[in-house]
Structure 1
Amino acid sequence: MEPPPVWTRPWPGFLTSKTLGSFGDANCMEQLLVHCANAIDSNDATLAQQILWVLNNIAPPDGDSSQRLTCGFLRALIARAAKTGSCTMLTAMATAQVNLPLNVHKFSVIELASFVDLTPWHRFGFTAANAAILEAIEGFSVVHIIDLSSTHCMQIPTLIDSIANRSEGPPLIKLTVAGATTDVPPLLDLSYEELGSKLVNFARSRNVGMEFRVIPSSSSDGFASLVEQLRAVQQLILANGGGEGEALVINCHMMLHYIPEETLGVTPYCFESSSTSSLRTMFLTAIRSLEPTIVVLVDEDADFTSNNLVCRLRSAFDYLWIPYDTMDTFFPKGSKQKQWYEADLCWKIENLIAQEGVQRVERLEPKSRWIQRMQSANFRGIQFSEETVLEVKSMLDEHAAGWGLKKEEDEGLVLTWKGHNVVFSTAWVPA
């Protein structure tokens, strides 16, 4: 018996190609995705197959931004359906990968540095954070930076350049990073030890002394190993009568949302605290106990924490149209970098939609909730200076029209695209 056809013809009584055109706008595609998600979760294989066929015909992988976004969700829904194994047709679709191989690129350092400079998506956070850090470390002879960043220290060279030009002379920089165990895009093609060697050499070329250290630690347990070692180092410094001339900077760039939050129901066994607290709350409480000079928190302003698939799908669709839309303004069609970018986005969408439990690591929280967490952990927000705001605006002027900046009353800065919130940046000190 021949296997059932995949994506070759409509099912009897359902839509034909003549009617597909009316489904071409983003709202209709989102509604189809929602109906498909409901059909998959209710194990209605016939309806799911029909909607998937329609989506496959109206959302080609090389279409406009809304079509490519929908195509990413289509792939994720097929992966989710196949995990149940209840429908041979859906399993066949997943096996065929609907002609969309997901090849997440491993960047060289040069490629990644160029990649993150293409848009303000990361540069916004780099610029705002570095300016706030420079102000906070003024007068310190030693600066210990804990860099929790999804971009593998790509922020640090610019910070080194700024520190090298400090009027009182550069301090010694101690850079500590967590050697993350989760393969979350963007991926790097070299080890952190090799990366550290390159950063130390770069700092030396700018006449800045630098020490680099990797602490094997993971977001899955709230960076417990990192916090434990930081406490040990701090106690050693204090025991030797030091610490007064050393600044402690905690730089969190799009990394903390990988720490499990309340809806996951993970028991926070790794910190000494109430079992009712989440790992995110306990991590913030732990770094507060280190009395940092400044904590900078930068992340994407969206909410992907719902346990309800449809709520999560809607939230992700209403946010992730932004990177797809921005790509069409600066990437030519067929660009390799565009393919790399969209492969990373498809990985995130598939993690959001197809995975559950501890495997679902994409758990963004909005700026308002992070502010509540920081305040509950006894941090006080500090305003970004007018000089910082001007520097961020100058950086945005280097990019396509459509990017904007909001300075909000709660001291944070927000990067916008066509008026929609994209990324927020906040700075904190112990209250």
Structure 2
Amino acid sequence: MNHATLKTLITSYNADPGAQGLLMAIVRACLELEEYQTGLELLANQDAGLGRLSPEEQADAAKLCLKGKAPELALSVCLDGDPRCLVLRARALLELDRRKEARDLYASALEKNSALEDLHFEALLEAKAVEQTCAGKGKVTHLRVMANGDGDEPELNRLLAPPEQPVTFEDVGGLDGIKQQIRRKIILPFQKPAIFQKFRKKAGGGILLYGPPGCGKTLLAKATAGECQAAFFSVAISDILDMYVGESERKLNAIFENARLEAPSVIFFDELEAIGGKRRFFSEGASSNLVSQFLYELDGYSQNNQGLLVLGATNAPWAVDPAFCRPGRFDRVFVPPPDREARERIIEIHLKERPVADSLSPKALAKATGGFSGADLCNLVETACDFAIDASLTSGEERPLTSEFFQTALKEVMPTIMEWLTTAGKYAGRANESGQYNDVLEFLTKHGQ
């Protein structure tokens, strides 16, 4: 759809104003092209004809009205009792500051279709306006803050000094299949808890990310927390291990308790094998006790783990105690080295906001970097930048990143995952009775390792 086609549709409609199919084609085109005012002018001139629209057509018309900042018109075009229409009417009522009516309509919509649950919209429905006054440099500023809790001052501070932007899947190059798994198993239960509760599916659980170093396991964990809009607890080994007997177990329990209080929350354990290694290899009873405590916290027998997600990452899944990988504790997800498309996306991410020559092709670089991990690609870009900076300082003129600098960098930066693939191939070849390394074998077979 383009603007010329939209103009043709409007001309045709003006010749036959009663053609509702044509009217809806214009509405959808205006939504796609963000020509909201054009669509609003047509809808505002309709009288009885809008009552004959289907629920789906009414929903599209209401979306256009809301995008065009015309909530009154949205209420007049969206009259059906379909749950989608009810949610859109609730949004229009909220825009008009008719909050109680909006809450009632939204609740009615969820009773009919719980899949329409929207936690962000619910937060807006429950928000309240708080008047704040800030003085500084001889000026007084009056702010109207929307707060969701009783603590108004912290909310104001958050708005004046917002936290760092969370990491999301957009910041992770490639791994589309794994992202889809995580969305299905983790993110949707957090975002749509009502429908999952109807099917007795809980939000939370455990995911063990394993694969070669530098391929995005830690970044993927942070992005998962960002997508869930959940509190993120990154646990270092030093946060748990203690020289005194019983202290490590106590610290681990405290971490889980804090995360439960902050639910929905994500706890991330990097290098999981350091605290969850196979118990038969431990010569000290204290280490075995720590593994047992970890398993106890995962099962949550004495506590409610609803809304608590535990993510683990390891380069050595063969060293993790098998009890962690039974169903209901950790689901194993193989994070492979990036393929060509993923490498191209990773390179583009690392080149962002750097001076880059027009002739530089991320696609060509991706083709030339087979076997590189994400960390290797980052190192490659940084090394090429070093050469570009040296050349700029030598010539006295800023030199952008070119393919020549990358060709020089490729002579220094080598892939670092080959040793892991060799080790993983040995374990997958002789210790795969239950199929836990099928993903690894499939990857090795596909790439001729």
TM-score, normalised by the number of residues in structure 1: 0.29
Which structure is higher in RCO with an 8 Å CA cutoff and minimum separation 6?
Answer: 1
Which of the two has higher C-alpha Rg? 2
